[in-house]
Amino acid sequence: MFRRRSSPPSLHAIQQDLARALALLKEAKRVVVLTGAGISTPSGIPDFRSDMTGLWSFTNPFEVASLWAFRDHPQRFYKWLQPLAADILKARPNPAHLALAEMERRGIIDAIITQNIDGLHQVAGSQRVLEIHGHVREVHCLTCGWEGESPPYLEAFLRSGELPICPQCGGVMKPKVVLFGEALPHDIVVAAQEAALHSDLMLVAGSSLEVMPAADLPALAVRSGSKLIIATLGMTPYDHLADVLLRGDVAQTLPWLAQRL
């Protein structure tokens, strides 16, 4: 989807938007957060869709990150995954993750829905995290169904290029991330939709809102009477629904809000 670029807002406009967002958060009783890749880029994890820098700028996702591509050429998938896995394993939560975890601890946030697979929300201390695209904490075998924790396998792969082999049947194991052509986890998607439906404020942080079904969650929330704050660097297709648009680095805007709630 082509996305227009907006001119940077003035400092005065940013301050006004932050004040409006803060007021909405103080009034809300059921806050649900939706996060995307933009919340993890300050931690050193690249996003997928940014022009010239996103991972899909260099690779056709269907050739390396689809279920059929994994089954046919798992080594190609792991070669593509190698730099991303290295970034994820060494990444630490940034101030945006920590701000959301603090807001949840204080009872301000009910749930975090994330499109990310890096697990940084949990490392930061968030408890109710709905990972609609899966995660890299575990691997599983598509042949026999065996499951196990992924760090030993991914670390061995990063050291020597050794593919994660199932100890039960010898098949090549896949991280528990959702690939193209693979069904999303039904129970997680339903829980995310229910959270959006029952929210009275949805905060979108670092998502371009271009990938379904996550992209439709803000519209679902708004149709149910929820207020909407979108905090991203760029524009999204749902900006027209937002009560407040926060144009800035979420590693700065979210801590600012958390400190004043």
Q: Please pick, among 97, 121, 133, 135, the residue that the annotation labels catalytic.
A: 133
Hey, what's the torsion of the CAs at 114, 86, 185, 146, to 10 degrees?
-150
Residue of 236, 244, 178 lying closest to 206 (CA atoms): 236
CA distance 72 to 68: 6
Check: CB of residue 227 under 8 Å from CB of residue 199.
Answer: no
Which helix (H) or strand (E) segment holds residue 88: the answer is helix 74-90
Hey, what's the torsion of the CAs at 231, 137, 45, 19, to 10 degrees?
20
The one-letter amino acid code at 98 reads: L
Concerning whether 140 is annotated as a catalytic residue, the answer is no
Sign for the pseudo-dihedral over CA of 80, 82, 86, 88: positive
Active site positions, annotated: 133
